[in-house]
Every structure is written in structure tokens, then in C-alpha cells.
Amino acid sequence: MDFNDTPEEAAFRQEARSWLEANAEPLAPGKRRAAPTAVEARKGLLERARAWQAKKADAGWACITWPKEYGGRGASSIQNVIWNQEEAKFDVPPNLFSIGQGMLAPTIMAHGTPAQKERYLEKILRADEIWCQLFSEPAAGSDLAGLRTTAVKDGDEWVVNGQKIWTSGAHYSDRGMMVTRTDPSAKKHAGITYFIVDMDSPGIEIRPIRQINGSSDFNEVFFNDVRIPDENRVGAVNDGWRGAITRLMNERATIGSAGGFGAGIGDLLKLARETEWNGRPAIEDPAVRQRLADFYVKLKGLEYTGYRALTALSRGTTPGPENSIGKMVGAVLRQEMSAFALELEGAAGVMTDASVSPLEGVWQFSYLSSPGIRLAGGTDEILHNIVAERVLGLPGEPRIDKDLAFQEIPSGR
């Protein structure tokens, strides 16, 4: 493990920092980026995020890992980590475009036609267009290849029918990338075709889902005889699984590189100092101290595991499936820390209104968001399977439907 920047990395860090200092305000000491709970923070957030993205694009600091031919700067993964670390020190809007930029654009680069690359990539980079990912369905999440939304060829168009769910940002997206079943007589991973779809196409109905944390970030999306031109197909007919795999690999990299959200251990210690617990500051109570120490130790473990991945990146290798540990442990820890904060807050812990709750409701938001984090980008159980099979070398799960024609797989329908 190597904690230090190489001379090249230090030079890159300085270059990034200089540009940020000239173009953004540093975060005040002790201040974190606007809590997502605060109503004011959400107002106009999209516009501010778009403006910041365009500014970065003009200066060559948007999507820095993209190849230069597509508007990036061909930066390495470690340079991307350095850029994210430096950007996080400034009071700038969060990147709301990571689905298009980090997951879908790489699929277009790998499998799209020259016309698709020409038409879409720059708009994604500048956030002139926002994209969503239409993969999951009511009966196809962890087992994505179980998808049932169909696309049937009709002349130069495809007619799509079915339903997607959990589609983040569909309600403000311009386009989406979707996987559909085009040959039910093929095995489940074959017979899938990948498309780009305009979200304002006739026949698309978007219904926001209200989440337990009060947000409505994702949606149900219904397709009723939606027509998609064949020129919007990405890759060959019935070969969409290849594109889906490219996207899934990039999803893990994107989610894996995202920093934590909301409050951290510093906020929890502050809360414990300021909260009264059995007639004295909570931090003086041995049981509280025990819990805090436990969280701290686990967080340090995660931090050093992260450094190991960074060292691998710095040496030009790619962290392997062991990288799943970060999300596997981090998401549970986030939930446990948030639950403990609510316990410390006592009666105020039940309030979710940012204006009356301590710390602007940040722990409430964190607690209520944490179950979603344990699901998105691979559930706890799927990550355990990955570690069991690919890190520990344990026998694989039986996958009895893998070689059956999709239409032969027993289902409730």
C-alpha cells in the first residue's frame, strides 16, 4: 500500500487544484456540500449542476477518463480519483449525470455506431442531455437476464411493450438506454437487444415512485407500442447482453468511486458531544464510546481497503472483485451509524423535517436512504456471492435456467 502521490500524480493534483481554485469557491471549514434534504439545496440543483458541468467541459475537466477524441482528456483511473478528491473540497453541485457519463456513454463508445457516437457523446459530456438506464423490471433485477419487455421488428422500426422499474431520473431524462427481449426462443442471455430511446416518444408513461426518504428519484416506466427506429439499436440484434455487461462493469466502477453521502463520523462525534445522555454528554457514556469506537475502527478498515484499491490503480492494475467489499461493508455501516445517530437524538430522531430536526435532518435522510444503497448496483447478497465465488473460490451457485430457451423457463405468468 502506498499513501503518497507519485511525482506525476502530485503534478496532476496541483493542476486540478489550480483550475478549481480559479473557478470555484472552497468549502468553508467544517461545512459539507449542501445536504440533499435541504429544500433550498434541491431547488435549481439540476440547473446549477448543468452549468458547472458545461464550465468543466469548456476547460477540458469534464469526464476526464473519456478518450480525447470524445472530449475527455484520456486520464487514468487514478487521475480521476485525484480529480474527485480535489473537486470534493469545493462548494460545487454534485454530479447528477453519472448514469449517462459513467455507465451509458462507455457502452456507446464500445458498441455504438459512428453516427451514434457523433450524435450523443458530446451532449452527454456537457450534460446538454440527461440519460437514464432502463434495465430493471418487476421480475428482473439481480437476475437482469430475466427481463420481459419485448421489442418486435416492424419495417425500419421496433415496437416495444412492457415495463421497467426503479429508473433513476427518468422523469427528467431526455433519453434512455434499454434492454429488451427480441428472441424468446433463445437462451435467456441471448435474445436480448439494446436500444437508445427518446424519453418523449409516444407510448412512454413515467410514474414517479415516492421513496421512504421523501424523495421521488426513481420511477416506473411503461412502454405501450413505443416505436424505436432501428438506427437507435446499439450492437447487433440479439447481442444486447454484451452491451449490458459493459454497462454493469462501468456501473460498479461508477458506484464504487462515489464518495459517501451525507454525514460522517465527524458529525456523529459532534452529535455525541452535544447531546445529553443520562445527565451528561453522550460521549462520556462508556456504552456510547464503545459504539463510536466500533464505527471508527470499521471506517478505518474501509479507508485502508480503499487505499489498497487506489494503490492498484496507481500501479496501473485494475482492482478485482475484492473491490465489492467497499460497498458490502460501507452500506451496512452507513445504516448502522445513522440508526445510532437517531438513537442519540432521542425524541428529535423521529422528526424528518429539516427545519426542526438537529443537523438539518441529515441523519434521518441518511437512515432512510441506506436500504436503497444496500440494493442499488448489486444487493448485499449478490456482492456476497461475488466475493464467495470470485475471491474465495467457493463453488458457484447452481444456475439451472442458464441453458434453457427463455420461453421454456417456468414463471408465474
Ligand X SMILES: Cc1cc2nc3c(=O)[nH]c(=O)nc-3n(C[C@H](O)[C@H](O)[C@H](O)COP(=O)(O)OP(=O)(O)OC[C@H]3O[C@@H](n4cnc5c(N)ncnc54)[C@H](O)[C@@H]3O)c2cc1C
Instruction: Please give the residue ranges that form the binding site for ligand X (CB under 6 A).
Output: 132-133, 135-136, 141-142, 166-168, 218, 372, 375-376, 379, 381-382, 385, 397
Question: Looking at beta carbons only, is 16 or 331 nearer to ligand X?
Answer: 331
Q: How many helices (H) and strands (E) does the chain have?
A: 13, 10
- The residue with cell 424505436 is 228
Minimum distance, C-beta of residue 196 to ligand X, in the bound complex (Å): 15
Say how many Å lie between the first and final Cα of the chain, rounded.
52
Question: Looking at beta carbons only, is 375 or 391 nearer to ligand X?
Answer: 375
Question: Looking at beta carbons only, is 41 or 248 nearer to ligand X?
Answer: 248
- Tally of residues, the chain: 413
Query: Phi, psi at residue 223, to the nearest 5°?
Result: -120, 115
Minimum distance, C-beta of residue 208 to ligand X, in the bound complex (Å): 13
The catalytic residues are 251
Q: Which residue is nearest to ligand X (CB)?
A: 141
Task: Name the H helices within 24-146.
Answer: 39-42, 45-58, 77-87, 98, 105-111, 114-125
Residue 185 is placed in which grid cell? Answer: 426462443
Minimum distance, C-beta of residue 377 to ligand X, in the bound complex (Å): 7
Q: What is the C-alpha to C-alpha distance for residues 107 and 124, in angstroms, rounded to an integer?
A: 12
- The residue with cell 438506427 is 231
Q: Coil, helix or strand for 11?
A: helix
Question: Looking at beta carbons only, is 24 or 382 nearer to ligand X?
Answer: 382
Closest CA to 143 of 400, 413, 408: 400
Q: Are 137 and 163 in contact (CB under 8 A)?
A: yes
Minimum distance, C-beta of residue 327 to ligand X, in the bound complex (Å): 12
Residue 113's contacts (CB-CB under 8 Å, 6 or more residues apart) are: 231
Minimum distance, C-beta of residue 410 to ligand X, in the bound complex (Å): 16
Amino acid at 77: S
Q: What is the C-alpha to C-alpha distance for residues 124 and 137, in angstroms, rounded to an integer?
A: 25
- The residue with cell 477540458 is 60
Minimum distance, C-beta of residue 165 to ligand X, in the bound complex (Å): 7
Minimum distance, C-beta of residue 387 to ligand X, in the bound complex (Å): 12
Q: What is the C-alpha to C-alpha distance for residues 158 and 227, in angstroms, rounded to an integer?
A: 6
Question: Looking at beta carbons only, is 218 or 367 nearer to ligand X?
Answer: 218
Question: Looking at beta carbons only, is 57 or 165 nearer to ligand X?
Answer: 165
Q: What is the C-alpha to C-alpha distance for residues 96 and 45, in angstroms, rounded to an integer?
A: 9
Question: Looking at beta carbons only, is 142 or 185 nearer to ligand X?
Answer: 142
Angle, CA 349 vertex, CA 344 and CA 352 arms, to 5°? 150
